[in-house]
Amino acid sequence: MNALSNLAPNTPQQLKQGIPLALEGVVKRFGEREVLKGIDLRIPAGQFVAIVGRSGCGKSTLLRLLAGLDAPSEGQLLVGAAPLEDAREGTRLMFQDSRLLPWKRVIDNVGLGLKGDWRPQALEALQAVGLADRAGEWPASLSGGQKQRVALARALIHRPRLLLLDEPLGALDALTRIEMQQLIERLWQQHGFSVLLVTHDVAEAVAVADRVILIEDGEIGLDLAVDLPRPRSRGSARLAALEAEVLDRVLSLPPLPPEPEPVSPLPTQLRWAL
């Protein structure tokens, strides 16, 4: 039996379907500062999209809107023709830090907030990320990469249709980072959810995504299709050319002030664990 095969009573067709996203005229202001300036974007169901840009360009603000942690000042966030809020239960968010509870064992962190007999599902989720043998351990015994695997398992147990990744690999060493990129890519291929990855790492973006979107001062400055077969050879000339195309555009722009820091949501507002 494949890992994650029994995590929810959905049909196989439902399990293989991500959600289509549409952003129509999305504006976000903090006081007088306009961080997002009329974003129009359509993402087909199941697509893997990477969002890149300089610090302060608005990419993290965009992800917060999609996660429901903030609301747009203008415009619409849609899933199909319905409000994105209708798909909130199928949305999960991973952060740069794992946000594991240190007083709970690994398996209990994966099943946090679930009711009923969730332990078999949690074990399957841990098996999918290669950590079933660490289920009974404390988070303090894990490496940084292993903690992020647990955070990924915690998202997988909910059968996400939309996975939002807010630089979840930024603090990892280079080799662990590549391993995690490959793991996320493999799970995405198996389960078909839609993915939006915010990253500062252009090489990471072109290595894993179907499409790379560059945010420039609150607007879409580049929408680049990564037309390479998978698995991708990281030493290929075409991959290097795509990376150079994005980097040249990013480095030609002046630096921006940091994005405003919104009020932190309550834990119950987050869909990273509950």
pLDDT digits (tens, 9 = 90+) for 120-136: 999 999 999 999 999 99
In this structure, the dihedral spanned by the alpha carbons of residues 82, 86, 88 and 89, taken in order and rounded to 10 degrees, is -140
Q: What is the pLDDT of residue 71?
A: 94
Pairwise CA distance, residues 206 & 214, whole Å: 12
pLDDT digits (tens, 9 = 90+) for 60-77: 999 999 999 999 999 999
Mean pLDDT of the chain: 88
Q: How far is CA 192 from each of CA 136, 173, 223, 273, rounded to the nearest angstrom?
A: 29, 27, 22, 20
Range in 152-161, 216-225, 226-235, 260-269 with the lowest mean pLDDT: 260-269
Domain count, the chain: 1
**Does 202 fall in a domain?**
yes
**Does 94 fall in a domain?**
yes
**Does 74 fall in a domain?**
yes
Burial (CB count within 10 angstroms: exposed 0-12, middle 13-18, buried 19+), residue 226? buried
Percent of the chain with pLDDT over 90: 76
| Both tokens assigned to 25 | 């005229």
Q: What is the pLDDT of residue 265?
A: 52
**Reported pTM:** 0.86
**Does 9 fall in a domain?**
no
Where residue 68 sits, what CATH number does that domain have?
Answer: 3.40.50.300
Q: What is the pLDDT of residue 174?
A: 92
Q: What is the pLDDT of residue 8?
A: 42
Domain with 244, as residue range(s), is: 21-99+163-251
Q: How far is CA 206 from each of CA 209, 230, 233, 246, rounded to the nearest angstrom?
A: 6, 12, 11, 9
**Does 126 fall in a domain?**
no
pLDDT over 70 at 2, yes or no: no
**Does 15 fall in a domain?**
no
**Does 92 fall in a domain?**
yes
Percent of the chain with pLDDT over 70: 86
Residue with tokens 């480095």: 251
| Both tokens assigned to 207 | 């290595």
**Does 129 fall in a domain?**
no
